[in-house]
Amino acid sequence: MSEWVTAFAPASIGNVAVGFDMLGLALTDVGDRVLARKTDGQDVTVAEVRGLDGERHPYLSADPKENTASIAAQALWNDHGHSGGVELRIHKGVPLQSGMGSSAASAVAAAVAVNALLDEPLPVEELLPYALEGEKFASGGLHADNVAPSLLGGLILCPQVLLPDVVRLPVPAGVSAVLLHPDLQVNTAQARRGLAKGYSMQLWLEQQGLLAGFVAACASGDIDLLRKTLRDVIIEPQRSKSVPCFTAVTEAARRSRAFGCSLSGSGPSIFALCAANHAHNIASAMEQACRGQGIGCQSWVSPMTAPGARIET
């Protein structure tokens, strides 16, 4: 048995409104931890999965074939482990089915922890395909918009057509993200299956234009352009109906001077981008609006430069 190593991987905002499946932003202060150590056994095993309360997780499986962390770890170990096996302890910090990249955070933390056990650890970017193996199991699709920012931090453009390559985008100075998590759950795989399969040329042109404009706004720091472009005309209208506090929370954020807001990933979490000095007021306004709908909630404020996964000592 070797010593345990611990990796932390942050939660993330999937899609960031404009880039369905291809744009993601890391958060601070909320994430999963995975502890890993080498064993004399074979393969990857899961010793425990603990929830937010530190107790055995009531839903997540410790079967290594059914947990995103062990699936990612096994894929990495198959390719780069020399001998023996690996044991994992998974400590969830990200609520399940929250739209905050919970399954991705576990997969990323596991890949980073197991990488540290390798005789020759890989550069961090090369862990992406392994973390994606885990994410694919959970969401039923190949999208890196949670895995990539969780692994690398910041704002990452990761269209499927470029994978495993991804692009770190510059971010405008002084902009923060507020993430509100209502006490509701949305199953991502189900939410993805429910999306319309065909879209009009008009919508496609509109969303492409918004994404291009948003990327340009981030690069140039043009906040007016960022305000105009932080919109999702395709996916949000389909999904927001199933989040009962969506309208109240987004209206509250906009009234409090957010640049824009939308669902995080498949929801139910809702994010806003805003001036850093307004972020805490906006978070309070969003929380108040959510509670006003009779729904409990929690919120986090992050800079757009949140760091990615790391080994903790």
The least distance separating ligand HSE from the CB of residue 47, rounded to whole angstroms, comes to 27
- Please tell me the distance from the alpha carbon of residue 143 to that of residue 141, in angstroms, as a whole number: 6
Asked if 134 is part of the footprint of ligand HSE (rule: CB under 6 A), the reply reads no
In the complex, residue closest to ligand HSE by CB: 265
Q: Taking Cα atoms as reference points, which of 185, 167, 150, 200 lies closest to residue 10?
A: 150
What's the closest the beta carbon of residue 119 comes to ligand HSE, in angstroms? 34
Is 64 a binding residue for ligand HSE by CB under 6 A? The answer is no
Phi then psi for 103, rounded to 5 degrees? Answer: -65, -35
Check residue 102 for interaction with ligand HSE (CB under 6 A).
Answer: no
Closest to ligand HSE by CB, 4 vs 199, is 199
CB of 286 to ligand HSE, least distance (A): 19
Smallest distance, Å, CB 278 to ligand HSE? Answer: 26
Minimum distance between the CB of residue 20 and ligand HSE, rounded to whole angstroms? 6
Minimum distance of ligand HSE from residue 189's CB (angstroms):
9
Residue from 145, 232, 236, 287 in contact with ligand HSE (CB under 6 A): 145
Tell me how far, at minimum, the Cβ of 298 lies from ligand HSE, in Å: 18
Closer residue to ligand HSE, CB minimum distance, 100 or 217: 100
Residue 21 within binding range of ligand HSE, rule CB under 6 A: yes
Q: HEC states along the chain?
A: CCCCEEEEEEEEEECCCCCCCCEEEEEEEEEEEEEEEEECCCEEEEEEEECCCCCECCCCCCCCCCCHHHHHHHHHHHHHCCCCEEEEEEECCCCCCCCCCHHHHHHHHHHHHHHCCCCCCCCHHHHHHHHHHHHHHHHCCCCCCCHHHHHHECEEECCHHHCCCCEECCCCCCEEEEEEEECCCCCHHHHHHCCCCCCCHHHHHHHHHHHHHHHHHHHHCCHHHHHHHCCCCCCHHHHHHHCCCHHHHHHHHHHCCCCEEEECCCCCCEEEEEEHHHHHHHHHHHHHHHHHCCCCEEEEEEECCCECCEEEC
* Contact flags string 158-197 toward ligand HSE, x per CB under 6 A: ------------------------------x---x-----
In the set 15, 74, 229, 256, which binds ligand HSE (CB under 6 A)?
A: 15
Report d(CA 114, CA 126) in Å as an integer: 13
Q: How far is the CB of 124 from ligand HSE (least distance, A)?
A: 21
Residues in contact with ligand HSE, total (CB under 6 A)?
A: 14
In the shown chain, the binding pattern of residues 249 to 288 toward ligand HSE, with x for contact by CB under 6 A and - for none, equals ----------------xx----------------------
Residue in 270, 14, 308, 305 with CA at minimum distance from that of residue 135: 14
For ligand HSE, give the closer residue by CB, 160 or 220.
Answer: 160
Stretch of 143-151, 155-163, 208-216, 279-287 lying at the interface with ligand HSE (CB under 6 A): 143-151
Residues in the site for ligand HSE, rule: CB under 6 A? 14-15, 20-21, 99, 101, 139, 143, 145-146, 188, 192, 265-266
